[in-house]
């Protein structure tokens, strides 16, 4: 896909934003020399981009994250380094935004500068198998709440319906109608359909804009 200078990844808790953001950062690094991934999730202290810090550093990808990430301190503060996303015009960034509207409020601090430059995409990550977004109507409600909190509009949808390690190709295919209905109601295109590497191999030629992912490992 064609990346803008800033790619914002948003969605409900458990939708799979972090795995997508990490995989996108590696994909972007293949095309641009100066790449960063930023973790704006100041609400959920458990599963963060910091879990992939060693792999990101080895690839030369800058990680911007709160110093309290992966600690038992729940302090809702953004590091000053976060403003590099909007200040450094040579930096191509992917941003993992916190779950639903509460997490998106942090993005609101950067949104005026993002809107002014107008070189961004904001993608809604959808997952039919999450309990609070099982249908199009509930997912659209979450989408509108995030837009209001972030003061930015979505530009596309990433279909990431999955059941974790138990996901099959049929699970993805049977969720296509759900994704298409959200696209119809929102007027937004489905820019990617994601799947773990093994499952993606079974979906080749069956799904448009397929994005194969190496799943981030949770800390032991």
pLDDT higher than 50, residue 73: no
175 vs 193: CA distance, rounded Å: 10
* Nearest residue to 43 via CA among 80, 13, 11, 7: 13
Pairing of strands 62-64, 120-126: unpaired
Provide the pLDDT for residue 52: 87
- HSE-CB of 216 using CA atoms within 13 angstroms: 23
- 8 Å CB contact between 45 and 66: no
What's the rounded mean pLDDT across residues 30-42? 91
pLDDT, tens only, 121-133: 999 999 999 998 9
pLDDT, tens only, 81-102: 999 999 999 999 999 997 777 7
What's the rounded mean pLDDT across residues 72-88? 74
Question: Which of the residue ranges 24-28, 46-50, 163-167 would you say has the lowest mean pLDDT?
Answer: 46-50
pLDDT higher than 60, residue 47: no
pLDDT higher than 60, residue 45: no
pLDDT higher than 70, residue 53: yes
Reported confidence tier of residue 77, pLDDT bands at 50, 70, 90: low
* Residue spans per domain, the chain: 6-213
- Nearby residues of 33 by Cβ (< 8 Å), 6 or more positions away: none
**Domain at 6-213: CATH architecture:** 3-Layer(aba) Sandwich (3.40)
What SS3 class is residue 182?
helix
pLDDT, tens only, 181-204: 999 999 999 999 999 999 999 999
Reported confidence tier of residue 218, pLDDT bands at 50, 70, 90: low
């Amino acid at each position: 896909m064609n990346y803008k200078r800033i790619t914002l990844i948003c969605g409900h808790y458990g939708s799979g934003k972090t795995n997508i953001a990490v995989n996108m950062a590696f994909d972007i690094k293949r095309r641009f020399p100066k790449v960063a991934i930023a973790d704006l999730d100041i609400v959920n202290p458990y599963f963060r981009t910091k879990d992939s810090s060693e792999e990101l550093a080895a690839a030369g990808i800058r990680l911007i994250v709160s110093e309290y990430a992966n600690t038992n301190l729940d302090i809702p503060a953004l590091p000053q380094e976060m403003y590099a996303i909007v200040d450094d015009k040579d930096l191509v960034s992917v941003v993992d935004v916190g779950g639903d509207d509460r997490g998106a409020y942090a993005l609101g601090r950067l949104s005026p500068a993002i809107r002014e430059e107008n070189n961004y995409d904001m993608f809604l990550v959808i997952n039919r198998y999450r309990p609070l977004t099982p249908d199009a109507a509930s997912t659209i409600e979450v989408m509108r709440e995030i837009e209001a909190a972030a003061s930015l509009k979505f530009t596309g949808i990433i279909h990431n319906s999955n059941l974790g390690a138990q996901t099959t190709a049929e699970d993805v295919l049977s969720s296509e109608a759900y994704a298409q209905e959200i696209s119809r109601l929102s007027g937004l295109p489905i820019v990617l359909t994601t799947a773990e590497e093994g499952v993606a191999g079974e979906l080749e030629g069956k799904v448009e804009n397929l994005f194969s992912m190496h799943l981030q490992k949770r800390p032991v």
